[in-house]
Chain A
């Protein structure tokens, strides 16, 4: 399966812990996007990255959230000191270039207890 791979599929964290979500883009794709989906809400853009660069992080909360896409390895979305309001489905998408359609992974469902 050459699609966008996300892991873990489910992640449970206690309040105050750190959550790390991983995303491997489709083969040949160098553009990665993170979206968050809350119940009854649509997908909300968080951040857009290319290899080693953050292009647009206008949707990222100012505190506790960070993202990276290193030269080698998957993109990581990191949430420090998680709170209950961080519980959501986090989706990663990738594209071949900045103008091509986005293809999504199956998401990581984060539950904060």
Chain B
């Protein structure tokens, strides 16, 4: 079993839709959770960075972490064609639990259609 599970998609939605992307994980030592966006032939771009459980909002993006269920989500409101990309979840332990070594999901490919 992988430490981080992520549905690869592809996920296709109409422009303006609310998108929900999710990851589950098995390692209870993970404390920091990130979402990266990766366009084709580009490097991952950091979207959201959260610590422990709770919600964090940044513009059209909301990240949720539920440590009790080992489940994290990224919501994208009013989705745009420019949001079409692969979304990677990533996580790591605390300062004494693996440092800054990230464990990634395999990514969900999102396509927002006009």
CB distance from A1 to the nearest CB of B (A): 12
Query: Which one, A4, A31, A45, contacts B102 given CB within 8 A?
Result: A45
CB distance from A88 to the nearest CB of B (A): 14
Is there an interface contact between A31 and B44, defined as CB atoms closer than 8 Å? no
Query: Which one, A99, A104, A109, contacts B44 given CB within 8 A?
Result: A104
* Bound-complex Cα distance A106 to B45 (A): 9
Is there an interface contact between A105 and B43, defined as CB atoms closer than 8 Å? yes
Query: Which one, B46, B88, B90, contacts A103 given CB within 8 A?
Result: B46
Is there an interface contact between B101 and A104, defined as CB atoms closer than 8 Å? no
A69 within 8 A of B: no
Is there an interface contact between B43 and A31, defined as CB atoms closer than 8 Å? no
Give the number of residues in B that approach A within 8 Å (Cβ atoms): 24
* Per-position binary interface string of chain B over residues 82-114, scored 1 when its CB falls under 8 Å from any chain A CB and 0 otherwise: 000000101000010001111111110000000
B4 within 8 A of A: yes
Is there an interface contact between A48 and B88, defined as CB atoms closer than 8 Å? no
Is there an interface contact between B43 and A104, defined as CB atoms closer than 8 Å? yes
Is there an interface contact between B49 and A91, defined as CB atoms closer than 8 Å? no
Is there an interface contact between A4 and B43, defined as CB atoms closer than 8 Å? yes
Instruction: Tell whether A107 pairs with B43 under 8 Å between CB atoms, given A42-B4, A101-B34.
Output: yes
Query: Which one, B8, B46, B88, contacts A43 given CB within 8 A?
Result: B88
CB distance from B38 to the nearest CB of A (A): 9
* Bound-complex Cα distance A57 to B92 (A): 16
Is there an interface contact between A31 and B88, defined as CB atoms closer than 8 Å? no
Query: Which one, A41, A98, A106, contacts B99 given CB within 8 A?
Result: A98
Residues from chain B with Cβ under 8 Å of A72 in the complex:
none
- List 7 additional contacts besides A56-B101, A102-B100, A104-B46; criterion CB under 8 Å: A42-B105, A42-B107, A43-B90, A48-B101, A98-B99, A100-B100, A104-B44
Q: Spell out A's residues near B (CB within 8 Å).
A: 4, 6, 31, 33, 35, 40-45, 48, 55-56, 58-59, 91, 95, 98-107, 109
